[in-house]
Amino acid sequence: MISSKTPLIIVGANGFLGKNLSAFASQFMDVYCMDSNQFEIPNNLPDSSVFIYLRAISSPTFVEVNPVVSNSVNVNNASKFISEALIHGHRVIFASSDIVYGNSSTKIFSEFDEVNPWGLYAKQKNEIEKTFTGHDNFLALRLSLITGEGSKLERILSVETPPKITQGIVRNPINIEFVLKSIKSLIKIRSFRSQFPRGCLNIGGKESIEIFDLALRISKNMGFASPVKIHRESVDLDARPAITRISSTVAEDFVGLEFRA
């Protein structure tokens, strides 16, 4: 069991991943949750506490059309907070994105591939990675689409009538359960750089699937209305790549799990 003297501080705990992580991690360690309006690092934390930084404006399309406000949140505020946490000797796991790799119809990206950020959101994530990669206590999780009860995709399918899903976007979706178990394993590491010299870790499922096809599958399993395909707007084309495939072999070997959607 992880020592309760090493707390987990979830920054941006009011989102899908944050809420699930809080409930999960509370079973084996002390957890502090910071919502989107809290910017000061808690006082009197033990050395080498673990922060997982989830706070972000996470819609690539919104980011693309709102560069000033998104840059303030996703780059300026994040950089200041992460820098302060690292200065105080804490470890930081940063929620990045698979789309920092850019578009590829054939290549499957590993952590050893160079990035080619597509869209402002990916560039903002990459800016944080560039600033802190190389620090012993910093690790970027390049996450693909996370699925599970309460996920953004499931909420769309359960609320909209009929649900509208953009066609032509391919990712490696992964269930929330495996993201949580991965983070549990990462919390135990005292030096991220010694374990992951590239400063990053891919977290995605084995299957590459178009998000619309995944939505069809979820709708059928959950009894939701069948989704309707919509075309990508020009701003959507600018905001994110159509196809990004990643390999999570490093994470699977480290955590000892086989990831799935």
Q: What per-residue confidence (pLDDT) applies to 5?
A: 63
Q: How many CA atoms lie within 13 A of 147 on its CB side?
A: 18
More confident residue, 42 or 51: 51
Nearest to 179 by CA among 261, 57, 82, 60: 261
Phi, psi of 203 (to 5 degrees): -130, 100
pLDDT classification of 46: cutoffs 50, 70, 90 = confident
3-class DSSP state for residue 82? helix
pLDDT band at 261 (very low <50, low <70, confident <90, very high): very low
Within a domain: 36 = yes
Name the average pLDDT for the chain. Answer: 91
In a domain, 151, yes or no: no
- Residues 149 and 121 sit within 8 Å (Cβ to Cβ): no
pLDDT in tens, 99-151: 999 998 789 999 999 999 999 999 999 999 999 999 999 999 999 999 999 99
Other Cβ atoms less than 10 A from the Cβ of 222: the count is: 11
- What is the spatial distance between Cα 118 and Cα 237, in angstroms, rounded to a whole number? 10
Q: Does any domain span residue 241?
A: no
With a cut of 70, say whether residue 60 has pLDDT above it. Answer: yes
Average pLDDT in the 145-174 region?
93
Structure tokens at 68: 């000033």
Helices (H), the chain: 16-25, 60-65, 67-71, 78-87, 120-132, 152-159, 176-187, 192-195, 211-222, 234-239, 249-255
Instruction: Provide the pLDDT for residue 258.
Output: 59
Given pLDDT bands bounded at 50, 70 and 90, which one contains residue 254?
Answer: confident
CA 11, CA 54: separation in Å to the nearest integer? Answer: 6
pLDDT of residue 11: 95
CATH (domain of 105)? 3.40.50.720
Q: Is the dihedral of CA 59, 60, 61, 67 positive or negative?
A: positive
Residue for token digits 């591939």?
A: 113
CB-CB contact of 35 with 54 (8 Å): no
Segment 54-76 shows an average pLDDT of 96
**79 pLDDT exceeds 90?**
yes
In a domain? residue 161: no
Per the domain annotation, does 260 fall within a domain? no
For the cut 50, the answer to whether the pLDDT of residue 1 exceeds it is no
Average pLDDT over residues 85-106: 94
Q: What is the pLDDT of residues 179-213, one digit of tens each?
A: 999 999 999 888 898 889 899 999 999 899 999 99
Question: pTM for the whole thing?
Answer: 0.93
List the Cα angle 105/164/213 in 5-degree steps. 40
Residue 54, pLDDT above cutoff 70: yes
pLDDT of residue 259: 58
Q: Of the candidates 138, 70, 67, 60, which has an alpha carbon nearest to the alpha carbon of residue 99?
A: 60
Report the number of distinct structural domains present in the chain.
1
Give which of 11, 7, 18 is closest to 36, Cα–Cα.
11
Q: Which domain holds residue 83?
A: 8-146+175-206+246-255
Q: Is the pLDDT of residue 2 over 70?
A: no
The answer as to whether 230 is a domain residue is no
Looking at the domain assignment, is residue 157 inside a domain?
no
For residue 74, tell me if it sits in a domain: yes
Whether residue 94 is predicted with pLDDT greater than 60 in this model: the reply is yes
